[in-house]
Amino acid sequence: MQQEYGILYVVATPIGNLGDISERARRILAEVDCIAAEDTRETKRLLAHLGISTPLLAYHEHNERAAAERLLETLAEGRSIALVSDAGTPLISDPGYPLVSAARARGIRVVPVPGPSALICALSASGLPSDRFLFLGFPPRTETQRRAWFDGVKDEPGTLILYESPKRAVATLADLEAVLGDGRRLVLARELTKRFETFLTGSPSALRERLRDDPEQQLGELVMLIEGRREAASADSAEALRVLAILAEALPLAQAAALTARITGGRKNALYRLGLEQGLGR
C-alpha cells in the first residue's frame, strides 16, 4: 500500500547565495514529478539558474489546505513532489506544515533534503551560546502584543532567536529592552550569505542607536539573537555583581569570578561573562 504513494521531499534552498544549493537538492529537484513552491516566480529563477525544468505548482499560505489536498492526490497517484519555499528550509516560518503532517498521517514517505536555514546560519556564527536555543519565528506587529510575547520568554536560559524585518527592528529592540532590560548581549545577523552580510553585537539600546544612525542597517533581511537569561541572575544577581566588582578590583577577572561563584553559589563562567560585560576585566 505504502509503495503506491509517491515520495514527498522537503527541500532546503539557498537564503541568498545560490552556491549553497546542495548536490542532492539539485538532483531531487530535477528528478521529481513536480515542485510545490511558495512563490513559483521565485523558484523559477532558482530552477533557471540550475538548468532544471520540472513543472511547478503554487503552494502558499493563502491556499495551503486546498493545495495540500491536491498534492496529496498527486502523491496518491504515485508521483513524487519536492516542497520548497522562497528561501531556506520549508516549514521554518514558511508554509508546509499541513502538507507534511497530512502526508505522515496517511503513511506517505516524507524525506528531508537539508540545507540552509537563516536561524541556524545566524546562530552558528553569532558567538552566543548554541548549546540550547529557542526559535520564536516572527514577533507580533503591535507593541502591546510584542511586549507580552517577550514577557513569555524572559526566563528562558537558552539563546532566543527571532526573525524580524529590519524596518521594524528599532521598535522591536525598544520593546525587548522594556521587558528584558538592557543587560543582555544581542546579535543582529543581516543579509546572511549575501554581499552585505553584517553581524552587529551589543546591548538593545546600543543596537537601536546604531540602526538609527545607519539607515543601511534597516534594509534587507534580519535574524535577531538574544542571550538567554543568565544563570548568575537566578542566584541573587545584584549581590553577585557587588561581590564580583569588589574582588575584581584586586584580582584578575577569572579569579574574581571563581571566588564570587564560591561565595554566592552562582556559575563561574556566567559570572566571568557578566564581569566582562560590566567592564570589570583588567
Q: Which residues bind ligand SAM (CB under 6 A)?
A: 15-16, 85, 87-89, 92-94, 117-119, 163-164, 189-194, 221-223
For 179, counting Cβ atoms within 10 Å of its Cβ (0-12 exposed, 13-18 middle, 19+ buried), the class is: middle
CB closest to ligand SAM, residue no: 88
Q: Minimum distance from CB of 161 to ligand SAM (Å)?
A: 10
Q: Which is nearer to ligand SAM, 86 or 227 (CB)?
A: 86
Q: Which is nearer to ligand SAM, 226 or 241 (CB)?
A: 226
Q: Which is nearer to ligand SAM, 89 or 260 (CB)?
A: 89
Q: Which is nearer to ligand SAM, 75 or 84 (CB)?
A: 84
Q: Minimum distance from CB of 133 to ligand SAM (Å)?
A: 14
β-pair partners for 17: none
CB count within 10 Å of CB 182 equals 14
Angle at 214 between CA 140 and CA 15, to 5 degrees: 55
Q: Is 224 helix (H, G, I), strand (E, B) or coil?
A: strand
Angle at 224 between CA 199 and CA 218, to 5 degrees: 70
Q: Which is nearer to ligand SAM, 142 or 196 (CB)?
A: 196
| DSSP strands (E only) in the chain | 8-11, 34-37, 56-58, 81-84, 110-113, 133-135, 159-164, 186-190, 198-202, 222-226
- Element spanning 41, H or E: helix 40-50
Q: Minimum distance from CB of 162 to ligand SAM (Å)?
A: 8
Q: Which is nearer to ligand SAM, 33 or 191 (CB)?
A: 191
Q: Is 163 helix (H, G, I), strand (E, B) or coil?
A: strand
Q: Is 221 helix (H, G, I), strand (E, B) or coil?
A: coil
Q: Minimum distance from CB of 146 to ligand SAM (Å)?
A: 15
Distance CA 224, CA 93 (A): 14
Q: Minimum distance from CB of 115 to ligand SAM (Å)?
A: 9
Name the strands in the sheet holding 81-84, side by side, starting at the edge strand that comes first in the sequence. Answer: 56-58, 34-37, 81-84, 8-11, 110-113
Q: Minimum distance from CB of 23 to ligand SAM (Å)?
A: 19
Burial 85-112 (b: 16+ CB within 10 A, else e): bbbbbbbbbbbbebbbebbeeeebeeee
Q: Which is nearer to ligand SAM, 171 or 245 (CB)?
A: 171
Q: Minimum distance from CB of 120 to ligand SAM (Å)?
A: 8
